């Protein structure tokens, strides 16, 4: 790969990742179409009764945060060792998922433990799926020594 191709890949991967991140933040923090929840934050967040719509939205959260995890890993893994890219990806996406979920309470949207759990499921599923990608697979479990997650390359 030439120097120009590397620069284009660098800019392209960051552009796609940051645009998708910004789009998700916009969608998740867009004010709801009603008044702020009448319940307190704790009562709203920890409620245990879910409607069908809540469950469908949770599946959407899995997809959104799963794709976000793959994009962040794709961008970071091209610049850093795999184990650092994976750790940074999980930290960035988990913090983003947590912050947006708590922030939703303040923009007249519901904030639920179910959505936060779905965010983390999306992250975990994506990291698990990354093990099976050709080219730069991850060894997440097994005999890996003291270094943690490593590339098998």
pLDDT single digits (tens) 80-113:
888 899 999 999 999 999 999 888 878 877 778 8
On whether the CB atoms of residues 82 and 150 are closer than 8 A, the answer is yes
pLDDT digits (tens, 9 = 90+) for 6-36: 666 767 889 999 999 999 999 999 887 655 5
Asked whether residue 54 carries a pLDDT value surpassing 90, the answer given is no
CA-angle at 13, arms to 11 and 18, nearest 5°: 95
The percent of residues in the chain predicted with pLDDT above 70, rounded, is: 69
When comparing pLDDT for 41 and 27, which is higher? Answer: 27
Assign residue 20 a region (left: φ > 0; alpha: ψ between -120 and 50; beta: otherwise): alpha
Instruction: Look up residue 35 and give its DSSP letter.
Output: P
Asked whether residue 67 carries a pLDDT value surpassing 50, the answer given is yes
The reply to whether the predicted model has a pTM over 0.85 is no
pLDDT the model gives residue 51: 81
When comparing pLDDT for 43 and 129, which is higher? Answer: 129
For residue 120, give the nearest of 61, 55, 46 by alpha carbon.
Answer: 61
Q: Which residues have a Cβ under 8 Å from the Cβ of 63 and sit 6 or more positions away?
A: 122
Confidence of residue 151 (pLDDT cuts 50, 70, 90): very low
pLDDT the model gives residue 146: 43
Q: Measured between alpha carbons, how far is 71 from 67 in angstroms, rounded to an integer? A: 6
Asked whether residue 42 carries a pLDDT value surpassing 70, the answer given is no
């Amino acid at each position: 790969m030439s120097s120009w191709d590397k620069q284009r890949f660098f800019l392209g991967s960051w552009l796609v990742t940051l645009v998708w991140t910004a789009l998700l933040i916009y969608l998740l923090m867009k004010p709801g179409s009603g008044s702020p929840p009448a319940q307190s934050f704790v009562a709203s967040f920890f409620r245990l009764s879910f409607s069908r719509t809540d469950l469908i939205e949770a599946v959407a959260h899995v997809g959104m945060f799963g794709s976000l995890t793959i994009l962040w890993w794709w961008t970071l893994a091209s610049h850093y060792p795999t184990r650092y890219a994976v750790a940074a990806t999980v930290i960035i996406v988990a913090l983003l998922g947590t912050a947006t979920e708590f922030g939703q309470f303040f923009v007249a949207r519901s904030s639920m433990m179910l959505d936060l759990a779905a965010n983390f499921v999306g992250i975990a599923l994506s990291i698990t799926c990354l093990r099976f990608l050709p080219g730069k697979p991850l060894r997440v479990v097994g005999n890996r020594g003291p270094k943690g997650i490593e590339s098998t390359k």
